[in-house]
């Protein structure tokens, strides 16, 4: 019964979100309250269904017996996987600026995840803002490259999920009832956005003139600002240029997926899942791809959905016990969460120290919103 409730919750989630954010909420103050409380309510709801009927005392006893070497290896692979994201982003952004600091790229990636651990989805905005400030690049352009990167991620994880379907010994669609619908939606979104992007680039003058015409109704200053933002954003959206860069982006995307799966695989050994049954890299791949859907739901750091889906996969697909599955979800999420937060604080501190030595202004979570004379 618990499994069907979790699967139904995952399947019905988009409908609930639409209801809460619809035009029915006319009061701006009420809309803000809903915007802040909704992720918390969703988190609590998923956590309740994830851990209902599980002996958490036993789960924490399992965590207390964690193996140290696999734990250290897990953290190493964790950082390598996100370093790989930063390297891939360097190739995406190459046509915008070809000498971007890897330290700044890696730092902004970690800041993105750290912020999202507190406020869902806000991390991607901060990633663009911080890198734009640190590197002196138009922030609209950076955000455009992030949009492109996210489309690549959606396509990559959708393909990874199809691989999971093919390598699972039974019918995965029967076990995970919302998976097929999610893949259809994902591929449809990719197709529609790709078509839109092609038209946007091909007919950019028409789009630009239309936006300027509309914004001129407010003022010439607004129209000029809109034109500037449109041009820089388009520059970011069309940033991938050159066969060599495309090949590197594909290669690094594959490496990112493999490192994510390796992280899941190493996680098995931290808690001794290998002594409870056979563990394989194939199992880790399936767990990685299915649990990634939980991160797409707007809760702080994927809290709740990640736990629910990880426990669902481990207990229903691989027949591990409830308590050890819960221990896996709790521990891996906790490690990721803490490392993201600490990395965010570390990179902001170190980069600000470097900027101070160069006589540059420190950047904070508020100052990055301020535009310099050359920023958009």
In order along the chain (376 residues), what is the average pLDDT of each group of 10 residues? 52 44 55 75 92 95 96 98 97 89 96 93 90 88 87 91 92 88 86 82 80 78 70 69 88 98 97 87 96 86 94 94 96 97 96 91 84 53
Provide φ and ψ at 100, rounded to 5°: -65, 135
User: Is there a contact between 47 and 83 (Cβ–Cβ < 8 Å)?
Assistant: no
User: Is there a contact between 138 and 376 (Cβ–Cβ < 8 Å)?
Assistant: yes
The pLDDT of residue 203: 80
| Sequence spans of domains, the chain | 2-369
User: Is there a contact between 6 and 289 (Cβ–Cβ < 8 Å)?
Assistant: no
The pLDDT of residue 166: 94
Tokens of 137: 């690049």
Q: What are the C-alpha distances in Å from 17 to residues 44, 234, 297?
A: 15, 29, 10
Provide φ and ψ at 359, rounded to 5°: 80, 20
User: Is there a contact between 255 and 239 (Cβ–Cβ < 8 Å)?
Assistant: no
Q: Whole-angstrom Cα distance, residue 81 to residue 83?
A: 5
The pLDDT of residue 261: 97
Q: Whole-angstrom Cα distance, residue 275 to residue 272?
A: 6
Task: Give the 3-state secondary structure of residue 191.
Answer: helix
The pLDDT of residue 212: 79
Let me know the angle formed at the C-alpha of 343 by 338 and 348, rounded to the nearest 5 degrees: 135
Provide φ and ψ at 20, rounded to 5°: -75, -20
Q: Whole-angstrom Cα distance, residue 284 to residue 286?
A: 5
């Amino acid at each position: 019964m618990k499994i069907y409730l979790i699967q139904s919750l995952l399947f019905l989630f988009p409908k609930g979100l639409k209801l809460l954010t619809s035009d029915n909420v006319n009061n701006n103050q009420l809309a803000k309250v809903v915007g802040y409380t909704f992720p918390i309510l969703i988190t609590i709801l998923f956590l309740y269904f994830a851990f209902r009927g599980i002996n958490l005392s036993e789960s924490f006893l399992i965590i207390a017996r964690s193996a140290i070497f696999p734990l250290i290896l897990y953290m190493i692979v964790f950082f390598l996987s996100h370093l790989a994201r930063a390297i891939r982003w360097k190739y995406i952004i190459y046509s915008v600026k070809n000498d971007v600091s890897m330290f700044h790229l890696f730092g902004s990636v970690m800041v993105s995840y750290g912020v999202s651990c507190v406020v869902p989805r806000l991390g991607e905005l901060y990633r663009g803002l911080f890198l734009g400030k640190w590197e002196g690049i138009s922030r609209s352009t950076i955000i455009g490259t992030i949009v492109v990167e996210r489309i690549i991620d959606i396509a990559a994880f959708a393909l990874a999920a199809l691989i999971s379907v093919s390598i699972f010994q039974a019918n995965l669609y029967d076990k995970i009832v919302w998976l097929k619908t999610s893949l259809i939606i994902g591929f449809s979104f990719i197709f529609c956005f790709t078509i839109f992007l092609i038209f946007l680039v091909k007919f950019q003058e028409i789009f630009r003139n239309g936006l300027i015409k509309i914004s001129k109704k407010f003022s010439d200053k607004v129209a000029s600002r809109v034109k500037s933002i449109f041009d820089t954003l388009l520059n970011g959206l069309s940033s991938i240029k050159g066969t060599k860069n495309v090949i590197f982006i594909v290669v690094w995307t594959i490496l990112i997926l493999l490192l994510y799966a390796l992280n899941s695989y190493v996680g098995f050994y931290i808690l001794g899942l290998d002594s409870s049954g056979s563990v394989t890299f194939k199992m880790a791949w399936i767990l990685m791809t299915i649990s990634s859907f939980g991160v797409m739901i707007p809760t702080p750091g994927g809290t709740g959905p990640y736990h629910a889906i990880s426990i669902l996969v481990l207990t229903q697909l691989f027949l591990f016990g409830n308590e050890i599955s819960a221990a896996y979800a709790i521990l891996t999420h906790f490690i990721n969460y803490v490392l993201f937060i600490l990395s965010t604080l570390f990179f902001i501190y170190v980069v600000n120290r470097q900027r101070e030595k160069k006589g540059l202004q420190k950047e904070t979570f508020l100052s990055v919103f301020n535009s310099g004379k050359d920023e958009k």
